[in-house]
Amino acid sequence: MSENDALRSRAVAKAVQILGGEEALAVRLGLTPGTIKLLMVGKIPVPQQVFLKVVDILSGDERP
């Protein structure tokens, strides 16, 4: 896993903490909780659009 991929996975994990669980983030992103788990552990790469939405959550600037 590249450094960039690891950073993205950590960002997803932090968003899970902020929102209170994989299911909450999955609903927010339109993904399944299983996909969120795979993103967090780096089994699949975090797509750019998902990462940008995660950054919005982390910065407190999320939009519906």
Look up the pTM and report it. 0.90
50, part of any domain: yes
What average pLDDT does the segment 30-56 reach?
97
Average pLDDT of the chain is: 93
64, part of any domain: no
pLDDT of residue 63: 55
pLDDT of residue 50: 97
What average pLDDT does the segment 19-46 reach?
97
DSSP assignment of the chain:
--HHHHHHHHHHHHHHHHHTSHHHHHHHHT--HHHHHHHHHTSSPPPHHHHHHHHHHHHT----
Indicate the number of domains in the chain: 1
33, part of any domain: yes
Range of the structural domain that residue 41 is part of: 3-59
The token pair at 3 is: 């450094």
